[in-house]
């Protein structure tokens, strides 16, 4: 089972940069998308349901903003939009698809980098989402949450960690929250399980400023975070950087798991 997570920073923009051509040959079973920056009426047929895939989406109410989606080769048994919080659900940040005992979730955690006010919104989301994560674990299903978590967990997860200790995405409170997700609730960072010491090759996002991508001054903020059983089934993981579809790069994980 091959699962991809990709923040597209605009599905229409990514389409013009070859994302769907890449997807057609990559062989993924499930693709989780974030930052659609589009509504249903903005998507053409290929974006709604690429050849061989079913498409499901949770759009933001605000035009050109946020939004998540899931493509899958098999139609899901059930699809759930949102976490049950009106303000965050209006931003299109959470989409869950179920197949049997497996759930795949596309998640887009708010960014706090634009203002102190948005950082407070991010903290509020983290507070609201923590019990949601606990509830998911209590279901006893195998689950993987794919997406842009907008937090670099450890010093090896970004190039310039010393210069970002007071910046959104690497704040002590954010990193401690993610540690609680792993240590208290038992979720597993799948890429880190397979590549415990990887640095530059693990980055999934680069600023558009200062030739950050060319110099690989990046951050690892896109994750597949899974229940222990599913995480143990992970065989390989990698970040695709040969083509540039977005300011993020797709993260692929292959699981030895029937679905």
Q: Catalytic amino acids?
A: 148
The 8-class DSSP code of residue 225 comes to E
d(CA 119, CA 150): 11
- Exposed e or buried b for every residue in 200-236, given b needs 16+ CB within 10 A? eebbbbbeeeeebbeeebbbbbbbbbbbeebbebbee
Q: Which of 177, 187, 175 is nearest to 224 (CA)?
A: 187
Residues 6+ apart with CB under 8 A from 244: 17, 213
> To which H or E segment does residue 189 belong?
strand 188-189
């Amino acid at each position: 089972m091959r699962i991809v997570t990709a923040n597209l920073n605009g599905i229409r923009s990514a389409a013009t940069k070859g994302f769907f051509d890449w997807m057609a040959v990559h062989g993924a079973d499930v693709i989780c998308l974030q930052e659609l920056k589009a509504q249903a009426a903005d998507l053409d047929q290929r974006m709604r349901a690429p050849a061989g895939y079913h498409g499901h989406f949770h759009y933001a109410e605000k035009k050109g903003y946020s939004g998540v989606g899931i493509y899958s080769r098999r139609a899901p048994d059930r699809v759930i939009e949102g976490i049950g919080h009106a303000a965050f659900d209006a931003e299109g940040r959470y989409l869950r698809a179920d197949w049997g005992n497996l759930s795949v979730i596309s998640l887009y955690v708010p960014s706090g980098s634009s203002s102190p006010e948005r950082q407070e919104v991010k903290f509020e989301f983290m507070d609201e989402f923590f019990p949601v994560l606990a509830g998911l674990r209590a279901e006893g299903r195998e689950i993987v949450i794919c997406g842009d978590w907008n937090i670099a967990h450890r010093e090896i997860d970004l190039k310039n960690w010393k210069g970002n200790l007071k910046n959104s995405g690497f704040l002590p409170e954010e990193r401690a929250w993610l540690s609680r997700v792993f240590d208290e609730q038992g979720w597993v960072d799948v890429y880190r399980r397979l590549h415990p010491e990887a640095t530059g090759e693990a980055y999934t996002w680069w600023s558009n400023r200062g030739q950050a991508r060319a110099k690989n001054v990046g951050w690892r903020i896109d994750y597949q975070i899974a229940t222990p059983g599913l995480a143990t089934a992970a065989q390989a993981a990698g970040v695709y950087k040969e083509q540039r579809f977005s300011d993020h790069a797709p993260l692929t994980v292959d699981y030895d798991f029937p679905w």
